[in-house]
Amino acid sequence: MTDKIEERLDALYGAPPPGSEALERLHRKVQQWQEAIWYDALRDSAVGPLLVAVSDQGVVAVEFGTNEAGFVRELEARHGVTVLRSMDQVREAMSQILQYLSGDRRTFELDVDLRGSTEFQRKVLESAGAVPPGFVATYGEIAARIGQPQSARAVGQALARNPIPIIVPCHRVVAVNGSLTGYSGAGGIETKAHLLRLEGATIA
């Protein structure tokens, strides 16, 4: 990601336009590019269409469905930056997601950007992310791992608002009896069960 930004900066600065107004426009373009979020759409996958967005710090959002306009509005509102469509910027994230959904990848080699989440939600998502593929944890176990053993219900709410499903594996968190509870992705519990079976987890 940084390499792409540096290439764009080199191109912009390679032949700076004369005059203070033109230079100011150049600076604004540079700032817009540095602070942007880029996204693209995956129209077909084993779990249906997906929208994926990345920032300069990592994957910032994955959303089930095709509501591109709503996806962009939500990103702009949450992060307060320009949102641009760019297949090149999102290519690696898309590629790894497709590899995972086809069974050719078990873990992701992607940074994630959770700056739009609260401190509590970040702790919950990071703890869920530590559950290895093929295994599950309960909401109570996640609550205990973040040092708030009485907050199992709040853990469930935080996972329901996971901005990066699949990559941050909230599907690996189940009820205390091992049953699958709600999943916010398209297909609900069916999709959750599909992802767990894909990883080789034993589910109730």
**Residues known to be catalytic:** 170
Closest CA to 107 of 162, 166, 49, 164: 166
- Taking CA atoms, 92 is separated from 12, 27, 84, 128, 179, in Å, by 24, 28, 16, 23, 33
- What is the bridge-based pairing of β-strands 137-138 and 58-64? unpaired
Assess contact for 47 and 100: CB atoms under 8 A: no
- If one counts every other C-beta atom within 10 angstroms of the C-beta of residue 49, the result is 16
Instruction: Write the burial class of residue 84 (CB in 10 Å: 0-12 exposed, 13-18 middle, 19+ buried).
Output: middle
Q: Is 22 helix (H, G, I), strand (E, B) or coil?
A: helix
* Assigned token pair, 73: 């509005």
* Assigned token pair, 123: 């702790």
| Separation between Cα atoms, residue 149 and residue 142, nearest integer Å | 8
